[in-house]
Structure 1
């Protein structure tokens, strides 16, 4: 175990530093936006720039990696991350921030791709669970730690932006100086979302809705905390509580979905999401402690549902189709993350900050209803397919789950199924 951890120590350290910077940036930017008096719609447009850049990077960055290698690409992307956040502190204009955030989204998606591709080269069937659990913990600790840096500084000046740029730059050093062998270039796969929809409609629709929900929360959650009057420390704790709920629930949800029709678990998660979001609306004026507890319940289903959809799509795949399916899910999820802030921003401007959770509750209801409708249309799939293993995600960011799906696509040699069996539609 210790030998396995030593082999990926530089990757984990780079990840930790990058996620501290990410956590800081993802909280200080909406806080500063509110201070500047920008509307929620304007902040949504800035968020859309980030998610658009992130999604494009998932398609484009592998081409650069194949051409010049992981370390050079990682160095270039980290440099872009530092430049983008420093420019946000230098130029306080929402139109410029859309561009800077698009650059940030592109850069951090590519950085995930490099780190996670490298990590996948180091894992085996024997240490996969342990190493990815360590990776999960590292990303969560880094993100939460970065968010808690905001109360220690002053969002009204450039100090936190400079600190964030320093953290991103430091994240380059462990990986750049590592003596480990470089990983193989990532697999290039074609995208066939219409074909994927014909294969598994519930997986595609669920991935889109999961992207819309997480994109809305991750980009506007900081706005919500400011608008309801929480201090920056209280807001950081609420964001942390939601992430902690996600980390705790992934294994139970995964085990449940491995033992029954995954669509039943989707219905249950959707119902739980509706109830918890409505509770957040009802108690949005309550004490911070109450909000922390409710946020943990929201997070327990908000982020794990994407992994449910990926697992369900892979249940219906032949061994040579896993990467193509994961890539299609990546694109679908990315489109969802782009649409989420655009849909929610105007609603928050019109009906107030708590309406963020009203919209997410509607998305959860659609998620549950569509899965239930597909069960009614096709019946249960238990016994009809050979299930893939549920893969827990890292701490989610807009599109991170999609990158994970591409990087963690199960290799054909790791699963034994009947390659001639016709796929089932669900």
Structure 2
């Protein structure tokens, strides 16, 4: 086991440093936005730039990797990450930030793709579970650690932006200097959303709603913490509590969905999401400890639900269709993450920060209700090709689940082409 960990140590270190930078950026930017007096709608436009760039990168970056290789692409993307966050510190204008955040989204999505495809190349069936568990922990620790750097600095000046740029630059070194064998080129994405919807409507609808919820929270959660009067340290803890809830719930939810109709688990997640979000609405003025506990319950279903939809879609697919299915789910999720902030931002401006969780509760209700309706429409075994295993996601970021879908496509391509996975 130690040998397997050592073989991917450079990848893990790069991931840790990159996620520390990402966690810092994802919290310092909304805090600075609130300090500048920008409306929640304005912050939503900035977030949309990020998700647009992220989704575009999931389509474009594999083509660059095919041309020049993983390491060169990774170096270019990390450079873009550093440039984008430094420009955000230098040019305080929300219109410019939309463009800068689009660059960030493009760069970090491509970075995930390089790191995770490289990691997939190094693991075997015997150590895959253990190594990806370490990867999950690494991403969670990095994200949370970066968020806790915000209280140590002043978001109203450039110091935290410079620190973030330094962290991103440091993330390049372990991978650039690694002597490990380069990974095989990723598979090219193919899309057939209409065919995927005909085969599994609940997967497509669920992926869109999951993306909308994740996009809304991850881009406006920091605004929520500032608007309700939490300090930067308390806000970081609330964000961390939600991620912690997500990390501990994925395996139980996955195991339950492997043992029964996944749509039943979707209904249960929808009910749990409605209850926890409404609890947050009524407890918005409660003590920070109470908010942390409720946030963990929200997170326990907010992020794992996308993996349910991916697993359900793959249940209805043949092995040679996994690339097409994963690509379609990726795009659907990406569209959801783009729409989420745009839908929620105006509501928060009109009705206050707690309305974020009212909208999330509505999304959860729609998610669970649609899954229940599909259960009534189609028997669980109709069209089933072979039930696949649930796969937990990395610590969620805006669209990270989309990159996970792309990496599932890479795995499928490896298996069909005979390359080691």
TM-score interval, smaller chain: over 0.9
> C-alpha separation between the residues in 2 aligned to 1:341 and 1:413?
36
Whole-angstrom distance in 1 between the partners of 2:382 and 2:21: 44
Tell me which moved more, 380-389 or 298-307: 380-389
Show structure 2 runs of 5+ residues with no match: 417-421
1:84-111 deviation line (CA, Å, top 9, x unaligned): 0000000000000000000000000000
Counterpart Cα distance in 1 of 2:87 and 2:265? 44
Provide the rounded CA distance (Å) in 2 between the counterparts of 1:250 and 1:391: 9
- Equivalent pair of 2:317/2:385 in contact (CA under 8 Å): no
TM-score, L = length of structure 1: 0.96
Paired residue for 1:156?
156
**Residues 174, 413 of structure 1: alpha-carbon distance in 2 compared, 3 angstrom cutoff:** closer
How much has 1:190 moved relative to structure 2? 1.0
Structure 1 equivalent of residue 387 of structure 2: 387
Q: Does the 8 Å contact 1:31/1:223 carry over to 2?
A: yes
1:341-398 deviation digits (Å, cap 9, x = unpaired)? 0000000000000000000110000000000000000123399542101000000111
1:126 to 2:148 alignment: no
Shift of residue 226, structure 1, vs aligned partner:
0.1
User: What does residue range 152-301 of structure 1 map to in structure 2 within 5 Å?
Assistant: 152-301=152-301
Alignment of 1:302-317 (within 5 A): 302-317=302-317
Aligned to 1:421: none
Q: Is the 8 A contact 2:316 2:384 kept in 1?
A: no
Determine the structure 1 residue equivalent to 2:53. Answer: 53
Tell me the secondary structure at the aligned position of residue 155 of structure 1. Answer: coil
2:412 aligned residue: 411
Aligned to 1:5: 5
Q: Structure 2 length as normaliser, TM-score?
A: 0.97
Distance 1:384 1:310 in 2: 14
> Matched residues in 2 for 1:178 and 1:61: separation?
21
Structure 1 residue aligned with 2:15: 15
Q: Secondary structure at the match of 2:180?
A: coil
Indicate conservation of the 8 Å contact 1:21/1:164, yes or no: yes
Query: For the Cα contact (< 8 Å) 2:59–2:189, is it kept in 1?
Result: no
Structure 1 position 414, deviation (Å): 6.4
The 8 Å contact of residues 272 and 301 in structure 1, kept in 2 or not, is answered as: yes
Q: Is the contact between residue 260 and residue 382 of structure 1 (CA under 8 Å) also seen in structure 2?
A: no
Count of matched residue positions in the alignment of Structure 1 and Structure 2:
415
| Unaligned ranges ≥5, structure 1 | 416-426
Alpha-carbon distance in structure 1 between the residues aligned to 2:134 and 2:190: 31
Superposed CA deviations along residues 134-170 of structure 1, whole A, max 9, x for unmatched, are 0000000000000000000001100000000000000
**C-alpha distance in structure 2 between counterparts of 1:387 and 1:126, whole Å:** 21
Q: 1:423 corresponds to which residue? A: none
1:319–1:412 contact (8 Å) kept in structure 2: no
State the 4+ residue runs in structure 1 displaced beyond 2 angstroms.
379-385, 408-415
Q: Distance in 1 between matches of 2:375 and 2:295?
A: 29
The structural deviation recorded for 1:123 is 1.2
In structure 2, C-alpha distance between the alignment counterparts of 1:383 and 1:196, rounded to whole Å: 12
Cα distance in 1 for residues equivalent to 2:113 and 2:414 = 22
Residue 73 (1) aligns with residue 66 (2): no
Q: CA RMSD in A?
A: 1.2
Q: What is the SS of the residue equivalent to 1:160?
A: helix
